[in-house]
Amino acid sequence: MHPPTFELDKLDISLLTAMRENPRAGELELSRVVGVARATVHARTRRMEEAGVIVGYGPDIDLAAAGFAVTAFVTLEIAQGALTETATELLSVPGVVEAYSTTGPGDVLCKVAARSHLALQETLLQLSSLSMVVRSTSIVGLSVVVAPRTWAPLSSETAPGSPHAPGHR
C-alpha cells in the first residue's frame, strides 16, 4: 500500500537533485549547494523521509556487475484472492527482486535475477511450486534498454508546460 501523495515543491526538487548529484554530501554541504540554511535541509529531508519519498541512501547495486547477469520477468497467475499469501511466499524466493500486482492475463509480475540460466531455471521451478501459483510464464531479458530511472518523472515536474512548473496555472 502506498502512502498518501506527497506534493514536491521547487525546493524539494532542488534538494533531491543536489542529493542525487552529491550522494555523499552531508546537510551542511547540501545547504551550500541548494542555497538554504542547514536547518531547512534537515527539515525538508526529514519531511520527505517521513512521507516515504526518500526511501534510502544506497548504495545502489548493479546486480549484473555483482554476478547476477541473467534477468527474467515472470507473470504469475494465482488463486483468486491469494495476493497476500503469494506476496509472503515470494519473499522466500531470493531470486525475486521485485513483484507487482497487475491487470491483464496475469496477476503478479516478478523481476528475477540469477547468476546463470541454470540458476534461473531453479528459481522458475521454485516460483511454479508456490502453493498459490496456478500458472507461470517467463520472459528472459536480453539487455537493458532503459535502466531504472526514478529521476525522469521528478525532473519532468519542473519542465516547461508541466502543471508544477513555475507560472503554470
Domains of the chain are: 10-59 (1.10.10.10), 70-141 (3.30.70.920)
pLDDT per residue over 14-67, tens digit each? 999 999 899 899 999 999 999 999 999 999 999 999 999 999 887 888 999 999
The rounded distance, in Å, linking the Cα atoms of 13 and 156 is 10
Question: What pLDDT, in 10s, does the model give residues 112-169?
Answer: 999 999 999 999 999 999 999 999 999 999 999 998 888 888 877 654 455 555 444 4
Contact 18, 25 (CB under 8 A): yes
pLDDT band at 4; cut points 50, 70, 90:
low
User: Considering the entire predicted model, what is its pTM?
Assistant: 0.78
Chain segment 149-164, per-residue pLDDT in tens: 888 888 776 544 555 5
- Contacts for 112 with CB less than 8 Å, ≥ 6 apart: 71, 72, 73, 74, 95, 96, 97, 120, 123, 124, 127, 138
The CA radius of gyration of the chain, in Å to the nearest whole number, is 20
- Summarize pLDDT for 68-84 with one digit per residue, the tens: 999 999 999 999 999 99
d(CA 92, CA 89): 5
The residue written with cell numbers 541512501 in the block is 57
β-pairing, 108-114 with 96-101?
Answer: antiparallel
Residue 168 confidence (pLDDT): 47
pLDDT of residue 153: 84
